[in-house]
A = this chain, B = another copy of it.
Amino acid sequence: MDMTRHSRSNLAGVLRQHGINPTHQRIEIARALFARFEHLSADQILALVNEGHPETSRATVYNTLNLFVQRGLIREVIVDPSKVFYDPNTQPHYHIYDVRTGRLADIDADSVRVTGLPDLPPGMVTEGVDIILRVRSAAPESEAAVQGAA
């Protein structure tokens, strides 16, 4: 019996707790996210789950990730216009994003305080507050690729 922290049996339990029928594919997808505990794109997850011999289709990966998000098992992180990242950490926290490298890291929510956010219009509810600190290396970027005017 595999008793590592993110064993299949443990993950099956977690899925059930979220009202998700734990199939083989769903467990493997959950494992890709929770074993690494990193921000991954759908594409990366598809590749991870299928290394060795392919066993999960692209449609299933997308279906499953959307299901996990709906059930509150994981979070979407929208920082890059070209792809969504999936975040196994559902604790309140924020993100720091390197716009050059695409690297995404967590900022613990405990230390951060936000005040002065406006009252919501009546009948509105907060889904969440995203804070994204966009950073880059101070070294001047090569301007070669900039399509110029002037």
Contact = CB atoms under 8 A, between A and B. Distances in A.
B21 A150 contact: yes
B125 A116 contact: no
A133 to B, nearest CB: 6
Interface residues of A, number: 49
A102 to B, nearest CB: 13
Contacts of A14: none
A147 interface: yes
Nearest to A98: B124
A127 B123 contact: no
Contact of A118 (B111, B117, B130): B111
Contacts of A118: 96, 107, 111
A66 interface: yes
7 contacts: A67-B147, A98-B124, A99-B127, A112-B117, A114-B114, A127-B136, A132-B132
A20 to B, nearest CB: 5
A63 interface: yes
Contacts of A20: 149-150
